[in-house]
Structure 1
Amino acid sequence: MPNSIPFSTDLSQAPLVTPFFDEPTNTFSYLVQDPTSKACAVIDSVMEIDYAGGRLSLEGADKIIHAIREQKLELQWIIETHVHADHLSAAPYIQEKLGGKIGIGEHIITVQETFGKIFNEGSEFQRNGTQFNRLFKDGDAYTVGNLTCHALHTPGHTPACMTHVMGDAAFVGDTLFMPDGGSARADFPGGDARVLYQSIQRLLSLPDELRLFMCHDYMPNGRDVEYETTVKQQREHNIHVHSGISEDEFVVMRETRDATLGMPRLIIPSLQINMRAGHLPKPDTNGTVYLKVPLDTL
């Protein structure tokens, strides 16, 4: 992973960003609009699941769809910052309703290979990323209307994590939390605390005033929910990686902390669905869709 940023950041473009918060999973989805056109993108959509009852819901996705239709916007992109382990993606549902391309980082192939083995998926499960319409490489450029966007590879939490920089806004996935929340875990298969530190340093080398939008907020110390910060605020105040914290110090902290954490409540359904770009596994011979529970594996 290169240390330099492989593109120039245009802070003169300020997209309109609307957050949608899924309280059960503490997840933010975002509607991102080009201010000069009707073009838009959706970042990290959520499909709800009643895991105990085996029932799915798309109430949150419907709110995003309603907002897009109400403003007569054109959906061009449905972006996944990574393969989420704590919520299910609603990307195919939104695409069916509104169009747009589903995109994720090119290292989804690594994630599919890893979890394809863990869930003992058969040969019908493609491990080449073809479930997605676009696999982003580090530095790739794309547009939302007239808004210039770039994908930045920021692995460590997972191998496929990407930060998407859209004008003066960046959507960091789980690479960072709000400054008082620190950073995400790095102990999932394919995760690496040292690589995560290096990815965060890439982010912190971006312009001070760049707006950073979080994928999650767990409201430390009982404060109200927050989702937006800046590079400068993270560099000065992030409790895990503020200026002066060395790589070795971060790795010790992160690995020690991760060793105390249990698996996310929805990791088993999330990974099986999200590695398929939000599509459900194929129905069994009786027409019912099933998810697997690998015992003593994760």
Structure 2
Amino acid sequence: MDPVVSQADALIRRSRESAVKPAIQAFFDEPTNTVSYVVHDPATRAAAIIDSVLDFDQAAGRTDTKSADAIIAYVRSNGLKVEWLLETHAHADHLSAAPYLQNALGGKLAIGREIIRVQNVFGKIFNVGTEFERDGSEFDRLFADGDRFQIGEIEAITLHVPGHTPADMAYVIGDAVFTGDTLFMPDYGTARADFPGGDARQLYRSIRRLLQLPEETRLFLCHDYKADGRDEYAWETTVGAERASNIHVHEGVSEDEFVAMRTTRDATLSMPKLILPSVQVNMRGGRLPESEDNGTRYLKLPLNVL
């Protein structure tokens, strides 16, 4: 087991043995199939918000804050103090509401430091010019693999889990892990790996890294699409369940088998419908492009690129 995973393993075991465990509230956005989370320390009321959603009507070009306002209402009604706004990666399927939430609730905005690679790739695709720094400065904290932080009295550690994108992070908070897009429910499988900077072989290794954690570890996923034969959305599972029955990457599936499956499957998938607006906003930490001289903000639509 690698040293960072060993540290995460120890943190999870200590949390399971102690009374200090995170309280977790999920918020599911069905239009984007995204799950956002508010995680807090019951003892101190300190909290983190993970992978928030800014509502976006692409046809009308209009944003809305209904989903984010539900999170604000929950935080305030429970007397929580937001210390962190965590992004697992620069999402391609929804716009982040982190700046709106930060303005309302405070907290530091954080993501993995490999966001700089994503900014460089997509900065060129969107031809954003020199005014876009591409150095991660849109975020308050850039996490490296194995960085530690606190939510009140609850310890947390970051795991770099690239493959879906170069910048994906998983957050181990107490006895829970927030996996981002690396894994889905066992009956649905794993994330795609064909975006710019994605890599199926890296994704396999990142998943195997997560699955080294204790089998009782709770996993909280970023998306669910209801696998065939399942009527309800679901977003919580365990390391043991994923090891035993994930349809793409259960125990016994080799790296080469996974790469072949993932590559073949990804070739059949369409681009997410919100990838172009999402990435150009999320690479800026959820901030919309600056207004032009007529006072209107614009999102770009690069043709024949992706």
Kept in 2, the 8 Å contact 1:30–1:45? The answer is yes
- The corresponding residue for 2:114 is 107
Q: 1:164 & 1:40 partners in 2: Cα distance?
A: 14
- The corresponding residue for 2:5 is 5
Runs of 5+ unmatched residues, structure 2: none
Kept in 1, the 8 Å contact 2:4–2:159? The answer is no
Aligned mate of 2:194, from 184, 187, 190: 187
Runs of 5+ unmatched residues, structure 1: none
Q: 1:49 & 1:134 partners in 2: Cα distance?
A: 26
Task: Establish whether residue 44 from structure 1 lines up as the match of residue 46 from structure 2.
Answer: no
- The corresponding residue for 2:27 is 20
Identity %, equivalent residues: 58
* SS of residue matched to 1:52: coil
Moved over 6 A (4+): none
Kept in 2, the 8 Å contact 1:25–1:87? The answer is yes
Task: Establish whether residue 93 from structure 1 lines up as the match of residue 113 from structure 2.
Answer: no
Q: 1:156 & 1:4 partners in 2: Cα distance?
A: 18
Q: 2:88 & 2:43 partners in 1: Cα distance?
A: 24
Q: Which amino acid aligns with 2:22?
A: P
- The corresponding residue for 1:71 is 78
- The corresponding residue for 2:38 is 31
* 1:95-121 alpha-carbon deviations (Å, 9 max, x no partner): 000100000000000000000000011
Q: Which amino acid aligns with 1:246?
A: S
- The corresponding residue for 1:244 is 252
* 1:234-285 alpha-carbon deviations (Å, 9 max, x no partner): 0001000000000000000000000000100000000010000000011111
Structure 1, 115-124 or 4-13: larger mean CA deviation: 4-13
State how many pairs are aligned.
297
- The corresponding residue for 2:224 is 217
* SS of residue matched to 1:229: strand
TM-score, structure 1 length as denominator? Answer: 0.98
Q: Which amino acid aligns with 2:5?
A: I
* SS of residue matched to 1:126: coil
Kept in 1, the 8 Å contact 2:4–2:146? The answer is no
Structure 1, 7-16 or 181-190: larger mean CA deviation: 7-16
Q: 2:40 & 2:4 partners in 1: Cα distance?
A: 28
* SS of residue matched to 1:9: helix
Q: 1:192 & 1:223 partners in 2: Cα distance?
A: 31
* CA RMSD between the two structures: 1.0
- The corresponding residue for 1:264 is 272
Q: 2:3 & 2:150 partners in 1: Cα distance?
A: 24
The Cα of 1:37 is off from its aligned counterpart by 1.3
Q: 1:227 & 1:17 partners in 2: Cα distance?
A: 12
Q: 1:267 & 1:59 partners in 2: Cα distance?
A: 21
Equivalent residue runs for 1:53-72 within 5 Å: 53-72=60-79
Kept in 1, the 8 Å contact 2:113–2:144? The answer is yes
The Cα of 1:35 is off from its aligned counterpart by 2.1
